[in-house]
A = this chain, B = another copy of it.
Amino acid sequence: MSVPVRISIDAMGGDHGPEVVLAGVAISQARHPDARFVLFGDEPRLTKILAARPALAAVSRVVHTEVVVGMDDKPSQALRNGRYKSTMWRCIDAVKTHEADAAVSAGNTGALMAMAKFNLRTMPGIGRPAIAAIWPTLRGESIVLDMGASIGATAQSLVEMAIMGAAMARTIFDIPQPSVGLLNVGVEEIKGVEEVKEAGRILREDEHPDLRYHGFVEGNDIGAGTVDVVVVEGFSGNIALKTAEGTAKQIATYLRAAMGRTWRARIGYLLARDAFKMLREKMDPRRSNGGVFLGLNGVVIKSHGGADAEGFAAAVDLGYDMVRHQLLTRIETSLLSRLPRGDAAGAPEAAEAEGRS
């Protein structure tokens, strides 16, 4: 545990500017004294912010970087204008060159994924990367992926996601054999879910030491916490996540309105305010801020663009945990343990060759 965890930060990403990003890094730094940071952004501005944060300054290095990828830039545009020279690119590149163990950015998702894919490449044995979110549930937390790294998924990519999601669950929940469910719809025998069915068949037949395949789950199973890992292709996953966020916001609005309507309700609210505070914390989206890019040769964390300092700190914490608990090694090991037994002795080379074919 004595080797420091080095995290590179896209200090200019996000809606609120470097003040909020660095305030978030400082919060996370206080929780992880062994973390070190490389901050990419406008040096004069960052240095000024750090002057007021000596504890953070002591463990940070600033790399002056002028180009910033816009929040609305298309991925192709971002790659064209920001490759090699933007804060986002250099933040990812620090992971590639082993100056950092994880990269964290609140910049735009499409650009971040495009740059991360382009620069870090997918791991041997993984066809496409995925974005995993941590979802608060009635039983604790689950991992849901893909949140929109790509649209549509073959049976093979769903299986890869199951393996990567389970590795992530082992990393952060410390469960030896996480349960995995494939998100599906309840209606039987309708066309178009062949990939999901086929992935289910593969996961059932391929006995896997690192995960327990539960079967199909439906949308309501996510919040119920029926399984540790929920696998779904990115279009539906992204919609599920945002629909859940919208529903939570809607209910919070109803609740506020109801509690302000009469004097009795207002007094009741005051008496129960600790309970409401607990509820608010439980529903606080900042607590679970941070999408993890899985399947790349490096750890990249995407913070919500609108995250405040607490939210950004959660994303940095997540990056720290992924490194500290060896997410990448766990995924690699899991991929290897899937090899047909005869080949398993062939060790990494065989796996790589197979993965890349």
Inter-subunit contact B258/A267 (CB<8 Å): no
This chain: copies in complex: 2
Decide yes or no: A271 and B275 within 8 Å by CB, A151-B191, A191-B151, A250-B138 being known contacts: no
Q: How far is the CB of A142 from chain B (nearest CB, A)?
A: 11
The size class of the interface chain A forms with chain B is: 35 or more
CB within 8 A of A150: which of B138, B191, B218, B250? B191
A232 and chain B: residue at smallest CB distance: B239
Q: Which residues of B contact A223 (CB under 8 A)?
A: 243, 246-247, 249-250
Inter-subunit contact B250/A137 (CB<8 Å): yes
Inter-subunit contact A220/B192 (CB<8 Å): no
Max chain B C-beta neighbours (<10 A), residue from A185, A192, A259 = A185
Inter-subunit contact A247/B249 (CB<8 Å): no
Q: Which residues of B contact A253 (CB under 8 A)?
A: 138
Q: What's the Cα separation between A276 and B135 when bound, in Å?
A: 26
Beta-carbon contacts under 8 Å, A238-282 to B: 238-251, 253-255, 258-259, 261-262, 264-265, 267-276, 278-279, 282
Q: How far is the CB of A243 from chain B (nearest CB, A)?
A: 4
Inter-subunit contact A275/B282 (CB<8 Å): no
Q: Which residues of B contact A240 (CB under 8 A)?
A: 219, 236, 239-240, 243
Q: What's the Cα separation between A254 and B138 when bound, in Å?
A: 8
Inter-subunit contact B268/A186 (CB<8 Å): no
Inter-subunit contact A258/B271 (CB<8 Å): no
CB within 8 A of A239: which of B151, B183, B275, B279? B183
Inter-subunit contact B268/A271 (CB<8 Å): yes
Inter-subunit contact B235/A219 (CB<8 Å): no
CB within 8 A of A189: which of B75, B250, B267, B270? B75
Inter-subunit contact B242/A244 (CB<8 Å): no
CB within 8 A of A258: which of B190, B232, B259, B275? B275
Q: How far is the CB of A250 from chain B (nearest CB, A)?
A: 4
A110-B189, A148-B186, A240-B240 provided; 4 other pairs, C-beta below 8 A?
A: A220-B249, A247-B247, A262-B275, A268-B269
> Which residues of A line the B interface, CB within 8 A?
74-76, 109-110, 113, 137-138, 148-152, 183, 185-193, 218-224, 232, 234-236, 238-251, 253-255, 258-259, 261-262, 264-265, 267-276, 278-279, 282-283
18 contacts between A and B (CB under 8 A): A74-B188, A110-B187, A110-B189, A148-B187, A150-B190, A190-B234, A192-B235, A240-B240, A254-B279, A254-B282, A258-B272, A258-B276, A258-B282, A259-B272, A259-B275, A265-B274, A268-B268, A268-B269
